[in-house]
Structure 1
């Protein structure tokens, strides 16, 4: 028997329209109220960092009045106006590049302020401060080890390692570049002595970044400098980092071990025998075995 349609069935409820995002609605209302030429449209707020121009070192020019500018440089760096601080950081870079003799007497204060600015949550300030640090490294190099500046440099070094370890890619890359310039502009032994403590930092990402800089220092050293640092301590550093959780640290450990092997066996005919004897006499057996696997005869 055929089924008859039910006339009194409930009507289907139409689907309610989805709400539009408030920003989109506000934008639409602005456009509706705007004149023909759009003169009445109120632009949506944009990020403050977008207004900052990151000037490469090659494009920085000397200051026209450095003797006057140096008088207020520290005060300008401590301004509450972040755009003024960015401008002052670029002035620091100009001083480092073109007027370093004027900057050096207050370099300790400048390094402290630059390190402090790196802790600012505003990415534009942080990146500009890192760029300033890179130019300071290029200009002053080993002078950062001077007693009046050394403590400030320690703080700057830690901040660079922290920034190189964070998730903001453009900040991280700039910090990596600055660390590379630092190693390239300084004598490796004193810098290695500073870097050593960060090679065992509790933050594994900081530890890995420190390991990379540490390995770069070792790659610039000859046997005499390695002996001054301590061959036993150096091979122990490599053995510890070889068991690190991050591949970046493990790669750095391999680099340290390879540099040590090349320096130790440079004038020896029985290279592997000498290297094996050294590792086995200075390390626990399991660590010695791991190190010996790095260098193949």
Structure 2
């Protein structure tokens, strides 16, 4: 398959997600599995693949909660879903993953709501942005893509653990993790910053977090944890790429558009992991195109995963 700056382009096949194996949602064109009444929380569910995931699951009867930084955008997204599916049960919670105070407020609202979530999807993210910092001074891509989700998931984890039903935690990563490296001597990239290396590192952190969380769950916990590469998708995630002024970026963007998926297609693996009976009880795995795949060698390093967990716990003051 072609490569662009380390990305393996996602090419759906007839045997993948887009080849319907169950009833297919007309609204999204992707496979959605019929479910009993369930509840799902999706970070960044107001746009891109998060929105398409929310819409497709709402169509199948899931109660959908989205975490979104912008209340207006959240309201508009939910209104569009409600217009398409009038019986959908929807709500939103303010969430800014770049600010741990907002993350804690979101977790508190979730816990206070009393909703028992069957599915928790850490979907939101940023990509290839210039050197920036979160509210707590963390490098922005690591802070938003990894640390924010790490803190949020750990704060709601006790409620997920005490749920009286199976729970699925799903982390949206990327094939870009393959060129990511965790340098504990320069975790915030203060010495040298490269936007793509930072993105790859944050996606590697997503996978390391998924695998380590799976190892740390108690034997009696009825929770599965999986992660995925959604493909190269036409979403707002590429807004910083479009702003780059390097000579090769227009060429790269033009090439990538030939292979990019529509957001509804990019949501297919998230929907599959959230609702398919085929993955019931499957945990600690990486998925591409609704199939189990092998992540990078670095992602399976237990020592790196453990140390990243401990440092993330210290930085975020997570439980």
After TM superposition, the score normalised by the length of structure 1 is 0.30
- Which structure is larger by alpha-carbon Rg, 1 or 2? 1
Identify, as 1 or 2, the structure richer in strand.
2
Identify, as 1 or 2, the structure richer in helix.
1
After TM superposition, the score normalised by the length of structure 2 is 0.28
